[in-house]
Amino acid sequence: MLPQTSKVAMLREIHPPQARPFVLEEVAIPPLAEGAVPGRMVMAGVCGTDVHILHGRVPIRVPAILGHQNVARVEAMGGG
């Protein structure tokens, strides 16, 4: 059975890394869509884009969950 919530490091406002701009939050996991493959995170990396976002050099909408270099274990598969 898949969990209904997940802990995330949420970026609520753009601040440099030394200001520790992330807040740990519990968020709802949306229903599994067709073709979706949810994974349980094993490792995540911080890349240059994430650092540029924190320094205000790459505009994004907040709140946001950063990170796109991840290793995860597949937990389920959506239909289709």
Per domain, the residue ranges of the chain are: 5-74
pTM value is: 0.78
Side chain identity, residue 17 = P
The angle at the Cα of 54, spanning 66 to 40, to the nearest 5 degrees, equals 15
Question: Which residue(s) pair with 45 in the sheet?
Answer: 69
Each residue's pLDDT tens digit in the chain (80 positions)? Answer: 788 999 999 999 999 888 999 999 999 998 888 888 888 989 988 889 988 999 999 999 999 998 888 999 998 887 77
| H or E element at residue 7 | strand 5-11
pLDDT at 59: 93
Side chain identity, residue 45 = G
